[in-house]
Structure 1
Amino acid sequence: MATISSAGIGSGLDVESLVAKLVAVERTPITQIAKRTDGLKTELSTYGKVQSALSSLRDAAAKLTRPDTWGGTQATSSDSSAVTATVGAGAAVGNVSVQVNQLATAQTLASTTYASSTSTLTAGTLTIQLGTHSTDVDGNPTFTAKAGSTAVNIDVADGDTLNTLRDRINAASAGVTASIVNDSTGARLVLRSTDTGESNGFVASGSGGVSNLSYDPVNGVAAMVQTLPAANARAILNGIDISSESNTLKSAIDGLNITLLKTTTFPPVISIGQDKDAIKKAIAEFTAAYNAVNALLRDQTKYDAGSKTAGALQGDSTAIGLQASLRSIAGGTTSLGGSINRLTQIGIEPGSDGNLTTSDTKLNTAMGDLDSLKKLFMGLDSGGNSSNDGFAQRIRSYVDGALSSNGRVAARQAGIQKQISSNDKRTASLEDHVAQTEARIRAQYNALDVQMSKLNGLSNYVTTQLAQLNKSG
């Protein structure tokens, strides 16, 4: 039969409590190492944030070293209600005069009035053909089918309504859009070319119950009324006549998309110049990224005497070195910007907390000399003196080095991880030692328990015998 035992029964001692206290003392080094490891993990996590912030700073600085940032253009119109424009690749700096004589329109036809949109029709077929309306030398109407297009037939069944016909036309992909206009007189079917331009005009031939939806000037049929003809936009760009099937001129001038909104009596002027707004935005993104790094390093390396708490990187030489190096670059000089050699001259100044603040007044003044401003940020010293490079170049180069595989940040992260691994190994070794110690202590107390049990049994026997002798005496 199995033996049931419990430490301390034989001796009467609280063995479990004694063992627990002795083991707790043995675990003290493990607790201390765990606390140090938690601190190291916090440091490693913080360096991950530093790495991310530095990457953003590098990207923002790199943007200010790219020619396209400084070479971008933008277009402004002297009358944006009549003409607007956007720039693309290849747009040349300068002015474009745009006289709008005619807007592109889509041919539009309206039917006679029906009682309502649910009025029923009788069977028939409506045929639609895209093409160009014109006149011959005698002034007679002509129609030339659009190249690549074919006539489209829309069948109408008895009992179909005006609504049904509208939906069938729109589903037929005939190059024509149908709608219904309702007013106090009833409902009318309106057909409109899907696209503007002369070649997107159309004729409609109706038979049977839809013969009243025909429009064919060549054959003298005008059951539907034309409310708008198909027409091209006509404009004069810098004195050159332009015709376009749409009101957007995408290829008239390289890199410039012009949108015509209304006819003009006096030509608006589109001015294409350098995109200063994009440059200011890139500079603002650079200072914001710098401030994010500075604030993170400042908060994580400081000691708060009031709360007696330290940042995760307080006293960390690598973090302090990063902060000092970046501040040194931002406060430095370069001779490449001509009369502009410091960031403070363009309104970017460090505050008491190390963050950069920007004066719009000074920056706007500096924008008047974009060539010098460009060199201040992206210039490269011809003699190879990197400490004289533009500020964006120096920041980008420094951060690239710090984040490289053997850079300061990576080296510090590797060092912290090595300490964590060493602590883990030491902890595992100590856990084994504690387990062995606990087993030894238990064995000792178990042996004591057995001996005490035997002595207690002997004591009880002697006491019993003495009691018996006293009775017999």
Structure 2
Amino acid sequence: MGIHVGGLSSGTDYAGMIEQLMAARRIPIDTLDNKRIELDYDMGAWSQLNTLASSLTSSLDTLRGFDLWRSMSSESSVESVVTASAATASAEQQYSLVVSNLAKAQSISSDIVDTPTDLIGGGYASEGDVFEIEGEEITIEAGETLTSLRTKINSAALEMPDETRVQASIVNNHLVLTRANTGADSISLSDTTGTVLQNIGILDASAAIKNENVAGENAEFTVNGISVVRTSNDKLTDVIEGLTLNLKGVGASTLDIHADREAVKLAISEFVENYNALAAVVDDYSSVELGGSSELAVKGELYGDSLLSSIRLDLRRMATGSKSAALDETNAAYSYNGETGIMDNLSDIGIWTSGETNQLSIVDSSRLDDMLEYEFSNMEQLFKGVYDEEAVAYTNGVASDMYRYADKISASLTGDIAERIESMTEKYDDYSAEMTELEAALEDYEQTLWDQFTAMEDALANMEYQMSYIESMFSSGS
């Protein structure tokens, strides 16, 4: 819009008049903008709810899954002797281990090399000498030093099989060869051309190893009295089925293999935390606080929304409802402190709502621990439910049923919340498009007003000119 100057002839404040007319015409635009702002707040609220619902879905997926309830834990009575990790296929059992010997890697060395910077000049080798370590040939070249020889051996080691690989190092002008892996097998090496290995004292005159600093040894231990020999101390997966053993020292220890109850307890705590986080925000957005006689009621951001109301009711119903339709005295009976019951509700394991709020909490941690220890299979059933042949899924479980609901409302593209946000986004875009059209019409309207007022001003100026002319004519005639 250009610069307008009006009212020079009439003294009328056209700009002020036009501003008032424009303000009246802008009311529909402002109304649409306020609707957009409200939609923006609502979409932000739904996005937050969707994030919280997704977190709840994830924790429920863990609780309804196979891996959690089949995960095993291993406890060693003496961790300085042995530690172990258990696979999901392991059975609850105890094993007695006695470690009598740890596996060691063989390490041999040369005699001290007096002229390490010139092996040929020092009489230790001749150019073209060849020796072999674990099937890999090493050739002496002109200018060979102890350092360059070590580098050649380590380069050749890259071609050796993992189980026989040898690493070279230099300690106080001694060439040290060490087996990369533990075990009783000796390093294989020999002079092929010349006698460089004998000259530096790796081999003696009979071609046997001259200086063995550490003898290679196998690990020797018993499991429940059964003798076991292995070349390694670590990651032993072929001794006890389902266990990975790591030998740490000589001595005796007991391995206790049992269900990973701490992992289950942590998963339950995460479920409670994620449930409460979602429930708290749902309550906040659907709340209304009544003011006093002169105050208006304060409503939550999504107060009155039907979807939010159903989420609020459904979450509490699924968290506190009974699964008695599928769980009864034949498949879910339990005992605690001398009393019997049917485990078909979260309250049976010490979890319940806090007062009148829509929150869960572990109200009896001793009861929860006892159920984890002695009623583990019943707890698994409470969360997973029972297998439905027709549905080909577990149903009537706290986690399985709530997971399906939480996933239904939080799925990224097809969930109820995603569809609600998409609908609101479309409405937001419609408002924006309508505002753009109204803004353009408003600019045209303003230009029309200025054109009309300018025409009136021009007409008035022309009349004033004519009146002045007539008056001058009368004046000259007199």
TM over 0.5: yes
**Paired residues for 1:215-364 under 5 Å:** 215-216=202-203, 220-221=206-207, 224-248=210-234, 249-264=236-251, 267-303=252-288, 310-335=299-324, 336=327, 337-338=332-333, 339=341, 340-352=343-355, 353-358=357-362, 359-364=364-369
The residue aligned with 2:105 is: 106
Separation (CA, whole Å) in 2 of partners of 1:278 and 1:201: 45
The equivalent position to 1:170 in structure 2, one of 113, 138, 154, is 154
Change (3 A) 1:119 1:429: closer
Q: Is 2:279–2:359's contact at 8 Å kept on the other side of the alignment?
A: yes
Give the alignment's TM-score, normalised by structure 1.
Answer: 0.81
Change (3 A) 1:346 1:154: farther
**Paired residues for 1:425-444 under 5 Å:** 425-444=433-452
Separation (CA, whole Å) in 2 of partners of 1:79 and 1:30: 76
Q: Is 2:166–2:177's contact at 8 Å kept on the other side of the alignment?
A: yes
Separation (CA, whole Å) in 1 of partners of 2:298 and 2:118: 84
Cα deviation, residue 10, structure 1: 4.2
The residue aligned with 1:135 is: none
Q: Is 2:197–2:203's contact at 8 Å kept on the other side of the alignment?
A: no
The residue aligned with 1:121 is: 119
The CA deviation string for residues 287-327 of structure 1, in whole angstroms up to 9 with x for no partner, is 12212211222333345669986543233232132122212
Separation (CA, whole Å) in 2 of partners of 1:193 and 1:55: 51
Cα deviation, residue 9, structure 1: 3.8
The residue aligned with 1:379 is: 385
The residue aligned with 2:170 is: 180
The equivalent position to 2:370 in structure 1, one of 349, 362, 365, is 365
The CA deviation string for residues 24-66 of structure 1, in whole angstroms up to 9 with x for no partner, is 2101111011111111122123212212221221221122112
**Paired residues for 1:378-417 under 5 Å:** 378-380=384-386, 389-403=396-410, 408-417=416-425
Cα deviation, residue 418, structure 1: 4.7
Aligned partner letter, 1:396: Y
Cα deviation, residue 19, structure 1: 1.8
The CA deviation string for residues 224-257 of structure 1, in whole angstroms up to 9 with x for no partner, is 4112222222222233332222113221222211
Separation (CA, whole Å) in 1 of partners of 2:445 and 2:345: 68
Separation (CA, whole Å) in 1 of partners of 2:244 and 2:32: 67
The residue aligned with 1:28 is: 27
Q: Is 2:109–2:202's contact at 8 Å kept on the other side of the alignment?
A: no
The residue aligned with 2:177 is: 191
Q: Is 2:78–2:254's contact at 8 Å kept on the other side of the alignment?
A: yes
Q: Is 2:89–2:242's contact at 8 Å kept on the other side of the alignment?
A: yes
Larger mean Cα displacement after TM superposition, 270-279 or 168-177: 168-177
The CA deviation string for residues 397-417 of structure 1, in whole angstroms up to 9 with x for no partner, is 222333467764345335434
Give the alignment's TM-score, normalised by structure 2.
Answer: 0.80
Query: Equivalent residue of 2:238, what SS?
Result: strand
Q: Is 2:112–2:200's contact at 8 Å kept on the other side of the alignment?
A: no
Cα deviation, residue 80, structure 1: 1.1
Separation (CA, whole Å) in 1 of partners of 2:139 and 2:176: 15
The residue aligned with 2:82 is: 83
RMSD: 3.4
Larger mean Cα displacement after TM superposition, 308-317 or 36-45: 308-317
The equivalent position to 2:458 in structure 1, one of 450, 455, 459, is 450
The residue aligned with 2:336 is: none
Q: Is 1:110–1:226's contact at 8 Å kept on the other side of the alignment?
A: yes
Larger mean Cα displacement after TM superposition, 450-459 or 194-203: 194-203
Larger mean Cα displacement after TM superposition, 407-416 or 231-240: 407-416
Aligned partner letter, 2:111: T
Query: Equivalent residue of 1:64, what SS?
Result: helix
Query: Equivalent residue of 1:313, what SS?
Result: coil
Query: Equivalent residue of 2:246, what SS?
Result: strand
Aligned partner letter, 1:342: N
Aligned partner letter, 1:297: V
Cα deviation, residue 422, structure 1: 4.3
Unaligned runs of 5+ in 2: 334-340
Separation (CA, whole Å) in 2 of partners of 1:154 and 1:236: 45
Separation (CA, whole Å) in 2 of partners of 1:13 and 1:283: 77
- 1:423 has 2:431 as partner: yes
Larger mean Cα displacement after TM superposition, 327-336 or 446-455: 327-336
The residue aligned with 1:140 is: none
Separation (CA, whole Å) in 1 of partners of 2:138 and 2:10: 109
Aligned partner letter, 1:170: N
Cα deviation, residue 270, structure 1: 1.7
Unaligned runs of 5+ in 1: 131-149
Separation (CA, whole Å) in 2 of partners of 1:425 and 1:119: 83
Cα deviation, residue 444, structure 1: 2.4
Q: Is 2:64–2:399's contact at 8 Å kept on the other side of the alignment?
A: yes
Length, aligned pairs only? 439
The residue aligned with 1:144 is: none
The CA deviation string for residues 333-368 of structure 1, in whole angstroms up to 9 with x for no partner, is 233343333323423232354332225333212212
Separation (CA, whole Å) in 2 of partners of 1:255 and 1:239: 19
Separation (CA, whole Å) in 2 of partners of 1:226 and 1:5: 103
The residue aligned with 1:138 is: none
Separation (CA, whole Å) in 1 of partners of 2:468 and 2:453: 22
Separation (CA, whole Å) in 1 of partners of 2:214 and 2:464: 121
Cα deviation, residue 424, structure 1: 3.6
Separation (CA, whole Å) in 2 of partners of 1:46 and 1:432: 32
The residue aligned with 1:136 is: none
